């Protein structure tokens, strides 16, 4: 999948005019890219459109218009665009109650390393986690992690041929498995493998 460049981005003025329309498009797009693993953990599989939107929002909020600042945002978010042989996901741990969230983040240390994807009869794939920086301490895990699942050629071929895609998390304090993703979600992820 092609990375984003400055030429792909809207100016702040142009984005202000397009923001409502782009937001609606991205929210609809994300619907089939989000995988809920139980009540409290979800994965959002990122792609070029989700990262384009994220960069535009950062530029808008931070009022960045200088070339160096724009390049910093591109450098930060381009690595989250799949490369054709992998899936990249933002993992979110969500608890509405602050005290419950505090306890859960202390219990779920290393949870990001227990997420697995499985295509058809292939071996489970473990993620490469948080390549930008370590997000876990001895006391707690972060509520957000970035995961990369590297797939081999046979896995990719089987995913494109329609093999079931399973995803789960197998942490001592949190277990949840989806044996087969819904068709629209599977199609969205397979599209990332071109």
Q: Where are the domains of the chain?
A: 1-31+48-81, 32-46+83-194
Q: Which long-range contacts (CB under 8 A, 24 or more apart) does 121-129 make?
A: 121/163, 122/152, 122/154, 122/155, 122/158, 125/149, 125/150, 125/151, 125/155, 127/89
Whether the per-residue pLDDT at 81 is higher than 70: the answer is yes
Query: Is pLDDT above 80 for 133?
Result: no
pLDDT in tens, 10-38: 999 999 999 999 999 999 999 999 999 99
Q: Are 127 and 112 in contact (CB under 8 A)?
A: yes
Percent of the chain whose pLDDT exceeds 70: 98
Is residue 76 classed exposed, middle or buried when 0-12, 13-18 and 19+ CB atoms within 10 A define those classes? middle
Considering the chain, what percentage of its residues have pLDDT values greater than 90?
93
- In sequence order, what are the residues at sequence separation of 6 or more whose Cβ sits closer than 8 angstroms to the Cβ of residue 5? 74
- Please say if the pLDDT value at position 137 is more than 80: no
Q: Which CATH number fits domain 32-46+83-194: 2.60.40, 1.10.1060, 1.10.20, 1.10.3470?
A: 2.60.40
Report phi then psi at 23, rounded to 5: -60, -45
Q: What is d(CA 194, CA 163) in angstroms, rounded to the nearest whole number?
A: 16
Residues 6 or more apart from 55 whose CB is under 8 A from it? 4, 9, 73, 74, 77
CB proximity list for 152: less than 8 A, separation 6 or greater: 122
Which tokens is 34 given? 């989000």
Nearest residue to 154 (alpha-carbon basis) of 108, 119, 115: 119
Residue 12 pLDDT:
94
Beta strands in 3-136 (DSSP E): 34-37, 41-45, 86-93, 115-119, 128-129
- Residue 65 buriedness (CB in 10 A; 0-12 / 13-18 / 19+): exposed
């Amino acid at each position: 999948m092609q990375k984003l460049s400055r030429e792909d981005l809207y100016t702040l003025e142009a984005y202000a005019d397009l923001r409502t329309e782009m937001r609606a498009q991205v929210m609809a797009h994300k619907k089939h890219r989000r995988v809920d693993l139980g009540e409290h953990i979800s994965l959002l599989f990122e792609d070029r459109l989700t990262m384009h939107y994220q960069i535009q929002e950062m530029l808008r909020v931070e009022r960045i218009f200088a070339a160096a600042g724009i390049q910093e945002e591109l450098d930060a978010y381009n690595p989250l665009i799949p490369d054709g042989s992998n899936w990249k996901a933002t993992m979110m741990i969500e608890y509405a109650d602050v005290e419950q969230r505090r306890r859960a983040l202390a219990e779920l240390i290393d949870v990001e390393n227990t997420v697995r994807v499985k295509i058809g009869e292939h071996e489970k794939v473990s993620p490469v986690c948080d390549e930008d920086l370590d997000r876990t301490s001895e006391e707690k895990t972060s509520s957000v992690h970035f995961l990369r699942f590297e797939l081999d050629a046979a896995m990719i071929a089987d995913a494109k041929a329609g093999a079931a895609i399973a995803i789960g998390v197998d942490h001592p304090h949190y277990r949840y498995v989806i044996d087969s993703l819904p068709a629209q979600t599977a199609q969205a992820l397979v599209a990332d493998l071109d």
